[in-house]
Amino acid sequence: MKWGLISVGIGALIFISYVVWGFITFVSSFDQSYSKKDLIENYKIKSKEINKLQKYMKSIIPVGKSVTLEFESNNSLFIFHLSDKNGDSRNWDININSKKTDSLLRVLHWTKETLATVKKKLDYANCISVENKEPFTIGYQRSGMGMYFYNLFDKPMTDSLKKEYSDGCTHILYNKKVALEFGGGAIGQQCFEGYFEN
């Protein structure tokens, strides 16, 4: 009975989180929109800044930790997820000056200045989010109900990875170490514009 109630509680929490995320994404869908062309042009102009951002993040994230950050402004984070072998801490819409942020920073051995540096480097790259998975992912901009990303590989992609990251819908190969991505989710899978016209 106890474990059943815990499972129901966790399920309800996950559902509520997705509803909140969906609502915020829906509201933001009326903001400025971007395109595949914008995503590509930004990489051409800002590739050095994007690579510096990736290098910096790799240098400050402790081994065994996975971090996802998305800034809304200098003072607020839309996403601050942290996971390791002990579990996941998934956090949406938190103030940088909150106790919750302080507790997450302590786990990472970061300071508020660290976050400010990450924000500055994201601004230089004209991007809004980072995630240190494999591939390393940098979020360019939200647009409508989706978001554009750069997937950065440390080594040239194998043939199997090239196939996986060139479906034309959610992923497009840019070069041997970079794949472009358009991710949706709030209303199901979405594709790059023009995909269904091909």
Q: How far apart are CA 71 and CA 69, in angstroms?
A: 7
Question: Both tokens of residue 104?
Answer: 């997450």
What dihedral angle (degrees, nearest 10) is formed by the CA atoms of 152, 157, 160, 165? 30
Residues 88-118 have pLDDT tens digits of 999 999 999 999 999 999 999 999 999 999 9
The model's pTM = 0.82
Residues 42-70 have pLDDT tens digits of 999 999 999 999 999 999 999 999 999 99
Beta strand segments in 65-177, E: 66-71, 76-84, 87-89, 92-95, 129-131, 136-143, 146-152, 171-175
Residues 119-172 have pLDDT tens digits of 999 999 999 999 999 999 999 999 988 999 999 999 999 999 999 999 999 999
